[in-house]
């Protein structure tokens, strides 16, 4: 989130814009991967994360917008859990707040 911009400024002397963007994507993915691994049990996590990563990049291109880091994190976690539920055929039975 906000602290990433501070880190990016600090790395300005060692990375160009493209390298900083790749660094940012990898940071978000790795933090997301840790959270997902805690809850997903039967998936090839690396493959799923790669597919979600590809989806988010394509979405950003199609919308001509960047997805914020908190939203990327949420997408990694929620889409991975969605895939896990689909594979296990475990629908969500109750919806809080509806």
How does pLDDT run across 37-82, given as a tens digit for each residue?
Answer: 666 666 677 788 888 889 999 999 999 999 888 888 888 878 888 8
Q: Is the pLDDT of residue 1 over 90?
A: no
The percentage of the chain sitting over the pLDDT mark of 70, rounded to a whole number, equals 77
CB 29 within 8 A of CB 76: yes
Task: Choose among 6, 39, 40: nearest CA to 24.
Answer: 6
Confidence (pTM)? 0.57
Q: What is the mean pLDDT of the chain?
A: 79
Nearest to 45 by CA among 77, 23, 13: 77
Q: Does the pLDDT of residue 87 top 60, yes or no?
A: yes
Q: Both ends of the chain: CA-CA distance in Å?
A: 29
Higher pLDDT, 95 or 84: 84
H or E segment and range at residue 16:
none
DSSP secondary structure letter of residue 11: H
Q: Are 73 and 24 in contact (CB under 8 A)?
A: no
């Amino acid at each position: 989130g906000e602290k990433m911009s501070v880190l990016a400024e600090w790395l300005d002397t060692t990375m160009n814009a493209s390298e900083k963007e790749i660094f940012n994507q990898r940071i978000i993915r790795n933090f997301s991967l840790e959270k997902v691994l805690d809850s997903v049990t039967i998936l090839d996590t690396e493959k799923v994360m790669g597919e979600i990563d590809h989806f988010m990049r394509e979405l950003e291109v199609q919308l001509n917008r960047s997805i914020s880091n908190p939203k990327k994190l949420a997408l990694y976690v929620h889409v991975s859990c969605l895939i896990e539920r689909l594979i296990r055929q475990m629908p969500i039975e109750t919806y809080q707040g509806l």
